[in-house]
């Protein structure tokens, strides 16, 4: 479904079209843009907290889907999204209950059953939640995810397919707003570790060695110059020690130098689900 960026824009352009000529028509065509109206999902890394990684899942409503309701101009959102983490497991998934108080039923692609709210199972987590009435198109936290350990990993989302029907229909994660379903909500985010100079997922002696190799005056942007002071010195060494992870477990047995940006992460992870998103009003 496509929408104009704004009714003011539409009205003013229509006047231009009606009043004059093709020149205005051309101007209208050049300045009015169609946009894809849809709420969106984003995930950010909150870094390492108490020995585990934390991630924040946020939803941004689309204001063009807001409608006048007794509570004012706005709308609610239903979210049904599966998450998967590579190489480790989920410790917890906690919803932002103030904004998402409703545990909706949703077909869980990982269990092939209908589950309500948040369902955690090892390295997968499924969330089917309904929101309060939003009146602003600003990001609102949906979930805080915690994954086990500090090693490098990737959290991916989406990837749902319908359990029933032939052929099974790929729908990705699903967000519902304004009485419409928006499918194919997919993506992934990979962790980064501050001061991991060789990108092996740990901050340890190898990184200290790299730092000493660059000791002294350096060019701007040198990786070991953590504070961008133009010199690699004790301050940068202190930064490494402040982010020290040492041996972080199983992932440490598989060094992958400089591989954080090139790891092939799982994309097709999630199972299948008949999605039953509904908008809570």
Within positions 42 to 71, which residues make up the interface with Ca ion, using CB under 5 A?
none
CB of 220 to Ca ion, least distance (A): 11
Asked if 140 and 115 touch (Cβ cutoff 8 Å), the reply is no
Q: How far apart are the first and last CA of the chain?
A: 21
From the DSSP assignment, how many helices (H) and strands (E) are in the chain?
4, 19
Q: How far apart are CA 198 and CA 220, in angstroms?
A: 18
Runs of H (alpha helix) within 32-85 = none
By C-beta, is 163 or 232 nearer to Ca ion? 232
Minimum Å gap between C-beta 201 and Ca ion is: 7
**Site size for Ca ion (CB under 5 A):** 9
Residue 200 found at the interface with Ca ion (CB under 5 A): yes
User: Which of 227, 244, 246, 254 touches Ca ion (CB under 5 A)?
Assistant: 227
Site residues for Ca ion, 234-273, by CB under 5 A, read 236
Q: Which is nearer to Ca ion, 80 or 225 (CB)?
A: 225
Q: Which of 225, 269, 270, 271 binds Ca ion (CB under 5 A)?
A: 225
196 binds Ca ion (CB under 5 A): yes
Say whether residue 229 binds Ca ion (CB under 5 A). Answer: yes
Q: Which among 136, 177, 148 is positioned nearest to 39, based on CA atoms? A: 177
Burial zone of 152 (CB within 10 Å; 0-12 exposed, 13-18 middle, 19+ buried) = buried
Measured distance CA(118)–CA(96) in Å, rounded: 11
List 198, 245, 251, 277, residue binding Ca ion (CB under 5 A):
198
What is the binding site for Ca ion (CB under 5 A)? Answer: 196, 198, 200, 202, 207, 225, 227, 229, 236
């Amino acid at each position: 479904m496509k929408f104009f960026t704004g009714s003011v824009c539409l009205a003013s352009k229509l006047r231009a079209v009606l009043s004059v000529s093709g020149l205005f028509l051309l101007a209208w065509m050049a300045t009015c843009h169609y946009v894809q109206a849809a709420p969106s999902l984003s995930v950010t890394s909150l870094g390492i907290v108490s020995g585990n990684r934390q991630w924040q899942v946020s939803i941004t409503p689309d204001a063009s889907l807001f409608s006048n309701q007794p509570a004012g101009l706005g709308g609610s959102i239903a979210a049904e999204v599966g998450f998967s983490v590579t190489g480790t497991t989920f410790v917890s998934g906690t919803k932002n209950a103030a904004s998402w108080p409703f545990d909706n039923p949703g077909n869980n692609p990982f269990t092939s059953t209908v589950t309500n709210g948040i369902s955690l199972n090892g390295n997968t987590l499924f969330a089917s939640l309904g929101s309060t009435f939003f009146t602003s198109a600003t990001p609102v936290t949906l979930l805080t995810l915690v994954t086990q350990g500090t090693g490098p990993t990737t959290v991916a989302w989406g990837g749902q397919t319908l359990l029933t029907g032939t052929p099974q229909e790929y729908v990705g994660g699903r967000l519902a707003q304004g009485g419409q379903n928006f499918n194919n909500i997919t993506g992934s985010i990979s962790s980064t570790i501050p001061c991991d100079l060789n990108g092996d997922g740990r901050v340890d002696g190898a990184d200290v060695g790299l730092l000493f190799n660059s000791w002294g005056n350096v060019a701007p942007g040198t990786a070991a110059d953590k504070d961008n002071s133009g010199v690699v010195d004790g301050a940068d060494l202190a930064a490494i020690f402040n982010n020290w992870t040492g041996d972080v477990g199983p992932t440490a047995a598989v060094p992958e130098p400089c591989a954080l940006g090139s790891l092939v992460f799982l994309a097709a992870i999630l199972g299948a689900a008949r999605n039953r998103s509904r908008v809570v009003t």
